[in-house]
């Protein structure tokens, strides 16, 4: 039986594009991604077949503007679609996000920001090169920014540097947790441009460069055997004096810094996967307690009051999570109000923590047989636990920021 939408198009007043896209991803997820998901998890291997199919069905170009050959989804349409994908394969949805951000940030998001006409024209020419690779060749882009220090938290400049040389840049540095390492065709690396005569690295000089996987000096290092999200293959990436040409820029110099300060919801895009995982934990529980999970004996467990209470509590948590998240993805825009930013942090915190809480409750409520590896619940449980750790908006950092910003206006001190 086909799953119901997470966000019913009529009830949530989705646009026609959102209704179409979420239906497409849900059907694809249920029919194609879900049966393959156990394999990527067991092997900690990358879902290459999924990406081939996503090239064929257009999903690699979901946020490429329609005028440039893509589906033309905006921020909200993409987020809703990614939540549907997260229901069926967390690792594919999370890595899809890394890929999609290379087009969302260079596409609709950049179009909202201020740059002079000549720079914009050049940016459009360059992003056209990247979009042609994605749409034509099925090129997949990763998004390694984490380095193990404060840079990924957004409070320091990236230690990976880019030095300008004739025709391009020379990049040096190391990224940790680079999802799609060894499998993406291009690594969309956030790094800091070093300037002649300036010793200190500045966040203002952040560059976003797409480095080809086979460029000299690129190496994938380290093992990958994590608790959850195993199919993301998030190994370390090292760049040793790697030359990239100027056309590698996914954003013009200075634009990433402008985006990070003016378009904060750009950091909320890790949450859709976990919105989907929370829904998946709930769906599994209902089907299992009704004795309807495919392949399991039709034993009903729904008549026990304690299980009914647990499901009711899960439903309340799911509805709270959906409502806050839907509001937040609906108000993503440049220069949001302070309230909207606080709400975005609250939404990220809520989705990440509640996905893990819903999965934990599902395991306890469904009982022993439900946590066997032949069923998806234990994978959902492990995958969901990873959401709160994602920088720059970890659950802890969201709480830190909400507390501080709620109590202090800009520039206020206690001195």
Kindly tell me which residue out of 51, 75, 96, 177 binds ligand FAD, with binding defined by CB under 6 A.
177
- Pick between residue 114 and residue 396 the one whose CB is nearest to ligand FAD: 396
269 is a contact residue toward ligand FAD (CB under 6 A): no
From the CB of 211, what's the least distance to ligand FAD, in Å?
Answer: 14
Kindly tell me which residue out of 148, 167, 222, 291 binds ligand FAD, with binding defined by CB under 6 A.
148
Which CB contacts under 8 angstroms, 24+ apart, belong to 386-389? 386/226, 386/227, 386/228, 386/229, 387/270, 387/271, 387/273, 387/274, 387/277, 387/351, 387/352, 387/353, 387/355, 387/356, 388/349, 388/352, 388/353, 388/356
Q: Which residues contact 247 (CB under 8 A, 6 or more apart)?
A: 126, 129
Kindly tell me which residue out of 62, 71, 89, 98 binds ligand FAD, with binding defined by CB under 6 A.
98
- Pick between residue 229 and residue 347 the one whose CB is nearest to ligand FAD: 229
- Pick between residue 160 and residue 350 the one whose CB is nearest to ligand FAD: 160
From the CB of 97, what's the least distance to ligand FAD, in Å?
Answer: 8
Question: Which range, of 1-9, 124-132, 333-341, 396-404, touches ligand FAD by CB under 6 A?
Answer: 396-404
Question: Which range, of 52-60, 66-74, 392-400, 402-410, touches ligand FAD by CB under 6 A?
Answer: 392-400
- Pick between residue 237 and residue 310 the one whose CB is nearest to ligand FAD: 237
237 is a contact residue toward ligand FAD (CB under 6 A): no
On whether the CB atoms of residues 125 and 117 are closer than 8 A, the answer is: no
Judged by CB under 6 A, the number of residues near ligand FAD is: 24
From the CB of 16, what's the least distance to ligand FAD, in Å?
Answer: 32
d(CA 206, CA 99): 19
Q: Report how far apart, in Å, the C-alpha atoms of 406 and of each of 57, 216, 330, 351, 403 are.
A: 44, 48, 22, 20, 5
389 is a contact residue toward ligand FAD (CB under 6 A): yes
d(CA 146, CA 143): 9
143 is a contact residue toward ligand FAD (CB under 6 A): yes
Kindly tell me which residue out of 35, 136, 149, 291 binds ligand FAD, with binding defined by CB under 6 A.
149
The alpha-carbon radius of gyration of the chain (Å, integer) is 21
Phi first, then psi: what are they for 13, rounded to 5°? 50, 55
Kindly tell me which residue out of 179, 192, 350, 365 binds ligand FAD, with binding defined by CB under 6 A.
179
47 is a contact residue toward ligand FAD (CB under 6 A): no
Question: Which range, of 9-17, 30-38, 161-169, 388-396, touches ligand FAD by CB under 6 A?
Answer: 388-396
Residues that bind ligand FAD (CB under 6 A): 98, 143-146, 148-150, 152-153, 177-179, 229, 232, 234, 386, 389-391, 394, 396-397, 400
């Amino acid at each position: 039986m086909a799953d119901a939408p997470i966000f019913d198009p009529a009830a949530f007043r989705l646009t026609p594009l959102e209704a179409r896209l979420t239906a497409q991803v849900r059907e694809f997820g249920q029919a194609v991604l879900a049966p393959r998901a156990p394999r990527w998890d067991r092997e900690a291997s990358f879902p290459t077949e999924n990406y081939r199919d996503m090239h064929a069905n257009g999903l690699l170009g979901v946020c490429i503007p329609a005028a440039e050959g893509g589906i033309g989804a905006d921020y909200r349409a993409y987020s809703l679609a990614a939540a549907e994908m997260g229901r069926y394969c967390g690792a594919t949805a999370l890595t899809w996000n890394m890929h999609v951000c290379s087009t969302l940030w260079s596409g609709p998001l950049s179009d909202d920001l201020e740059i002079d006409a000549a720079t914009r024209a050049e940016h459009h020419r360059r992003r056209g090169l990247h979009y042609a690779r994605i749409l034509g060749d099925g090129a997949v882009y990763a998004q390694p920014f984490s380095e193990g220090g404060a840079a990924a938290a957004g409070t320091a400049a990236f230690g990976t540097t880019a030095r300008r040389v004739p025709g391009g840049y020379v990049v040096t540095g190391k990224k940790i947790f680079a999802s799609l390492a060894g499998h993406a065709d291009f690594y969309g690396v956030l790094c800091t441009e070093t300037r002649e005569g300036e010793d200190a690295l500045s966040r203002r000089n952040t560059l976003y460069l797409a480095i080809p996987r086979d460029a000299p000096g690129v190496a994938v290092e380290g093992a990958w055997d994590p608790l959850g999200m195993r199919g993301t293959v998030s190994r370390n990436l090292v760049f040793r004096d790697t030359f990239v040409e100027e056309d590698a820029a996914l954003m013009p110099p200075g634009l990433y810094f402008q985006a990070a300060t003016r378009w904060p919801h750009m950091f909320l895009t890790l949450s859709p996967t976990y919105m989907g995982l929370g829904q998946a934990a709930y769906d599994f529980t209902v089907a299992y307690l009704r004795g309807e999970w495919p392949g399991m004996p039709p034993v009903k467990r729904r008549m026990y009051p304690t299980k009914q209470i647990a499901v009711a509590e899960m439903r309340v948590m799911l509805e709270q999570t959906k409502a806050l998240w839907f509001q937040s993805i609906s108000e993503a825009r440049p220069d949001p109000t302070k309230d909207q930013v606080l709400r975005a942090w609250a939404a990220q915190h809520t989705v990440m923590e509640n996905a893990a809480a819903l999965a934990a409750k599902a395991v306890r409520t469904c009982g022993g047989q439900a946590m066997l590896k032949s069923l998806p619940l234990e994978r959902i449980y492990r995958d969901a636990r990873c959401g709160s750790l994602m920088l720059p908006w970890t659950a802890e950092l969201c709480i830190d920021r909400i507390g501080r910003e709620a109590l202090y206006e800009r520039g206020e001190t206690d001195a």
